[in-house]
Structure 1
Amino acid sequence: MAKQLMIYERAVPVSSERHRDWSLQTGRAYGFAKEVNSVPLLAAEFIAAATDHAIVFAGDAEAIFPTVILGMRANENANVDAAGNWTGGYIPAFLRRYPFVFSRGADGKTFTLCIDEEYEGFNKDGKGERLFDAEGARTRYLETMLTFTREYQGLFERTQLFCKRLKEHDLLKPAQAQFSLPGGQSAQLGGFFTIDRDKLKALPAETLAEMAKTDELELCYVHLQSLNNLTPMARKAAAAEAEGAPLVTEDA
């Protein structure tokens, strides 16, 4: 079955008619993310994520969005171990909201809360948190997740405005990272964009002042600083390789 949105297999609208008897057993297992080497990152997460991860921009000329790099190879997340435990520090909100997600209506303004029914913790055995009570009303847990997902969507749209500003000022450039690893191993990572530091510094004073007021200037430098995490991440991934296979990927 093809994934609808990276980690989502079959996202359907949450409803009391369909899900009244269903429960959600959550925990700290992130096996569902073991095959993604990058996920979207909100601008509000930059500072927290930059401690552990490299932040880049992915997409094309039509749509660019911040992305946190989680692995050096396609279909591999270096932050999830064989048991599905998260081992990489900060956990992006994109993963923390799973298995919930908003679906945008045809009008572009209406959003419907959906859930991935293929999530392994989704069950009819009463394990974990119920979504609806006996009368079909939302439980406190479902209300909490609805609020979290709604807040995520708001921050997502604010992040899109930040990306729009970067494109307006032509601040993004294609980038590729290459590494020399212990034992003569090499690694490459490409298919992403970074902010052009020289173009950023060359912006008019009034533009820089405006970006400083909106915290966008800080985000730019947090992103640039986070790129220093690429080499340690590559070395960590190489050290974890039992067979010492080459670490090469074309997409972030």
Structure 2
Amino acid sequence: MASAPQPQLPLFYNDLTPLNSRDHSKFRALSTDKAPWVAKQHAIPLTTDEFVLAARDYPIVFSQGENPVPLALMGLNEGLNTFFMEDGTAYEPVYIPAYIRRYPFLLARLDPNSENMSLCFDPTSDLVAEGDEGFALFDGETATDHTKGLLQFSQSFEEAGLRTQNFIEELKKAGLLMQGEVSIQRNEEPDRPYIYRGFMMVDQEKLRELRGDQLRTWNQNGLLPLIYAHLFSLDRMRVIFAKQVEQGWEPKSAAGDAQTANLETSA
């Protein structure tokens, strides 16, 4: 029986149980073209492997705190997602972050004293269940090719996560991360900008001041293109703002000269 939601679980997950042939020999994984678990989420974790593709659709920012995480913004206010409808159907074809595609599976370390990780799933999800539909997870005690594929995808995601951590460490060592702020003005309210804070971004002035040898190294190892993908993607915030208005979310006029909102993108 599924346990109660645990606050330390990753985004989307209400519970976790290790996948095994003893308990789940008759379980199947169902495919879906809807992701209702993401419909109310405005910020989704992203790996650096995805920056180039994701930057075409989403602003890429970094969460606040000691361990920043890259995030794809799907809305500028908490609970608002401009890319997915209430039932999880995408409004239009867009890049779907691996974090969304991974659910309800993930690799987890069951024993904190061990480096071994196990393929687990969220038992509260209806995408893994007994029945005749979907892809079989086991053939007797043997994992099927579908399960092996899930494991490979999860392993690749973890490896991408390590590369992402290394990227963040490089930014931190160079002192490039700063508190972000974006101001958006509507034509009908030119004197009342909507200001969004609560995220981190690369400081372009400090980036320009970096030594040439540092930039050459980052260009050779692929870090510099990632930084520019992040910076170029920030213009998408205005697109997200326009989408929110188009979909019926009307910003309220501020009492003062500006309306400030905190993106609250800590992951």
Aligned pairs (5 A) from 1:137-152: 137-152=142-157
Which deviates more from structure 2 when the two are superposed, residues 78-87 or residues 155-164? 78-87
Match of 2:102 in 1: 97
The residue number in structure 2 matching 1:232 is: 239
Give me the whole-angstrom Cα distance separating, in 1, the residues matched to 2:242 and 2:197: 17
For residues 115-134 of structure 1, what are the alpha-carbon distances to aligned partners after superposition, in whole Å with 9 as ceiling and x for unaligned?
0111122221222111112x
Give the match's secondary structure for 1:225. helix
Work out whether residues 181 and 238 of structure 1, in 8 Å CA contact, stay in contact via their aligned partners in 2.
Answer: no
Deviation at 1:221, TM superposition (A): 0.8
Partners of 1:43 and 1:32 in 2: CA distance: 23
> 1:26 is matched by which residue type in structure 2?
S
**Does residue 119 of structure 2 align to residue 106 of structure 1?**
no
| 1:158 Cα deviation from its structure 2 partner | 0.7
Give the equivalent residue in structure 2 for 1:199: 206
Aligned equivalents of 1:110 and 1:32: distance in 2? 28
Q: Aligned in 2, Cα 1:130/1:188: closer, same or farther, shift over 3 Å?
A: farther
Paired-residue identity, %: 25
2:244 and 2:250 in contact (8 A); partners too: no
CA distance in 2, matches of 1:158, 1:230: 26
The unaligned stretches of length 5 or more in structure 1 are none
Q: Which residue number in structure 2 is paired with residue 244 of structure 1?
A: 250
What count of residue pairs does the alignment treat as equivalent? 249
Q: How does 1:6-25 map to 2 (within 5 A)?
A: 6-25=11-30
Compared with structure 1, are the counterparts of its residues 196 and 99 closer, same or farther at alpha carbon in structure 2 (3 Å cutoff)?
same
Letter in 2 for 1:122: V
Match of 1:149, as an amino acid? S
Q: 2:128 aligns with which of 102, 122, 130?
A: 122
Instruction: Using the TM superposition, give the Cα deviation of residue 81 of structure 1 relative to its aligned residue in structure 2, in angstroms.
Output: 0.9
CA distance in 2, matches of 1:189, 1:137: 51
What is the match of residue 158 of structure 1? 163
| 225-234 or 69-78, larger mean C-alpha shift | 69-78
Shift of 1:108: 6.3
Matching residue of 1:72 = 76
TM-score normalised to structure 1 length:
0.92
Q: Which deviates more, 105-114 or 63-72?
A: 105-114
What is the rounded CA distance, in whole Å, between the counterparts of 2:142 and 2:158 in structure 1?
Answer: 23
Alpha-carbon shift at residue 182 of structure 1 (Å): 5.6
Instruction: Choose the corresponding residue for 2:91, options 87, 91, 95.
Output: 87
Indicate the RMSD between aligned Cα atoms, in angstroms.
Answer: 1.9
Equivalent residue, structure 2, for 1:2: 5
Deviates more, 1:200-209 or 1:173-182: 173-182
Of 196, 201, 215, which aligns to 2:222? Answer: 215
Aligned equivalents of 1:186 and 1:12: distance in 2?
A: 47
**Paired residues for 1:27-38 under 5 Å:** 27-38=32-43
